[in-house]
Amino acid sequence: MTGKRILCLLLTLCMALSLAACGQSGGSAYGVRTLVTLVEQEYSLAFRTNDPTADFVMAALEVLSAEGKVDELATKWFGSRIIYFERNANALNEVEEENFPREFIIGADINSFPMAYVSNDSFWGYDIELAMAVCDLLGWDLKIQAIEKENVYVELSSGNIDCAWGGIALNGLKADGDYLEYGPYVDNDIVIATRNGNLLFNRLMLRGKSMAMCSTPEALDALNTEPGLARSLGQITRLAGGTTECFQYLFSGKCDAILTDTTAIAYMNCH
């Protein structure tokens, strides 16, 4: 086989893979890639210490994972199985206490698109849909309320919520008080990213470039971990519309890069 034919075959294969990556052509048209990782973090669930609620929820998640529901939702939201929970089809049978119908209240960080957010005045996201599946399995009613991740211990200890779940990065929060952590179940780094095809390949090439970011304290804290990089950037636009508005800015060419989460990149590359 000639070199030219090999090259043609490789190009054809690359195009096919890019179009099939998420089962949609949108992922290839608006591909986004990471340039700089600012903060490495992970999402977990948190429960009150010694609360039997945790036993039921963790067991339900292991059953759903064994049945393929966790992977099904991960593929729907992210195009791949990036979510990890233990698999045990018999986990609920191993919970000693009797299950009882109840209202299960979770506290979610609604600024953590696509894990938890508000759409048309309703809570939605990967974590929200998975929590719904857990409640369906247990026969519980789900209630969701927005919380700040810094208040996880206060919300749990006061009884305002039964579980902190929905884009909650617990890194370093245990100093505020003790609770039971389940996970982590997914990596979610805070990064600076750009569109595929943009001729930016490293942090040095960001000098003088424009960037959009959410106007949340967490986003600002992440940027402040790299003060030299922040000073080298050109215009920085802080957007109140959240993660989706940042991507709209990037896709429309209003900025060269955005500060965002890797789970959001996985979602946007598939939708």
Provide the residue-wise pLDDT of the chain in tens; the chain has 271 residues: 444 444 344 333 333 344 344 544 333 446 999 999 999 999 999 999 999 999 999 999 999 999 999 999 999 999 999 999 999 999 999 998 777 779 999 999 999 999 999 999 999 999 999 999 999 999 999 999 999 988 999 999 999 999 999 999 987 655 556 899 999 999 999 999 999 988 999 999 999 999 999 999 999 999 999 999 999 999 999 999 899 999 999 999 999 999 999 999 999 999 8
At which of 187, 205, 228 does a domain end? 187
pLDDT at 150: 87
Of 187, 211, 227, which marks where a domain is finished?
187
What's the predicted TM-score (pTM) here? 0.87
What total of structural domains would you count in the chain?
Answer: 2
| CATH number of the domain to which 259 belongs | 3.40.190.10
Do residues 210 and 127 both lie within one domain?
A: no
Where would I find the beta strands (DSSP E) of the chain?
32-39, 42-47, 103-108, 117-119, 122-124, 141-146, 163-164, 180-187, 190-195, 211-214, 236-239, 257-261
Claim to verify: residue 102 and residue 236 sit in the same structural domain: no
The predicted pLDDT at position 255 comes to 97
State the pLDDT at residue 100: 77
Indicate whether 12 belongs to any domain: no
Q: Which domain holds residue 149?
A: 42-187
Q: Tell me the C-alpha distance between 196 and 31, whole Å.
A: 5
